[in-house]
Amino acid sequence: MKTLAALIGDTFQEARARWLFWGLFALSTLLILIFLFVLQIDLAAGAITFLGIEATSRRISSIQKFVNVSYSWVSIALYVWGTFLAVFASSGLIPSVLEAGRISLLLSKPLTRTSLLLGRYAGNLMVVALNHTYLVLSVWIILGLKTHIWAPRFLLAIPVSIFLFAVLLCVVVLVGVISESAALSVMAPIGLSLISVLLAQHQLVIRLLSSEWSRQLWMFFYWILPKVFDLGNAMRQTILFDRHATWIAPVGTSAAFGAIVLLGALRIFQKRDF
Partner 1 sequence: MGDFAIETYGLEKIYRSRWRGREIRAVSNLSLRVPAGVKYGLLGANGAGKTTFVKMLLTAVHPTNGSAKLFGQDARQPEARRPIGYLPENHRFPTYLTGYGMLDFYGALSGMEARQRKKRIPEFLDLVGLKDWGDVRIKKYSKGMLQRLGLAQALLHRPKLLILDEPTDGVDPVGRRQIREVLDGLTEKGVTIFINSHLLSEVESFCEYVAILRNGQLAVEGKISNLLTGRGYRVTAAEVPPEALAEIRQSGASTLSTSEGVSIQVTTREEANSIIDRIRAAGGEIESVAASTSSLEDLFMQTAHPEKAA
Q: Which residues bind to partner 1, rule: CB under 8 A? A: 2-3, 5-7, 9-10, 13-14, 16-18, 99-112, 271, 273-274
Nearer to partner 1, 52 or 101 (CB): 101
For the bound state, the minimum distance from the C-beta of residue 87 to partner 1, rounded and expressed in Å, comes to 21
For the bound state, the minimum distance from the C-beta of residue 120 to partner 1, rounded and expressed in Å, comes to 12
Q: Are 63 and 74 contacting, i.e. CB atoms less than 8 angstroms apart?
A: no
Closest CA to 153 of 165, 166, 136, 167: 136
Nearer to partner 1, 13 or 40 (CB): 13
For the bound state, the minimum distance from the C-beta of residue 205 to partner 1, rounded and expressed in Å, comes to 37
Nearer to partner 1, 10 or 181 (CB): 10
Nearer to partner 1, 11 or 68 (CB): 11
Closest CA to 235 of 170, 134, 151: 151
For the bound state, the minimum distance from the C-beta of residue 74 to partner 1, rounded and expressed in Å, comes to 35
For the bound state, the minimum distance from the C-beta of residue 265 to partner 1, rounded and expressed in Å, comes to 17
Nearer to partner 1, 59 or 272 (CB): 272
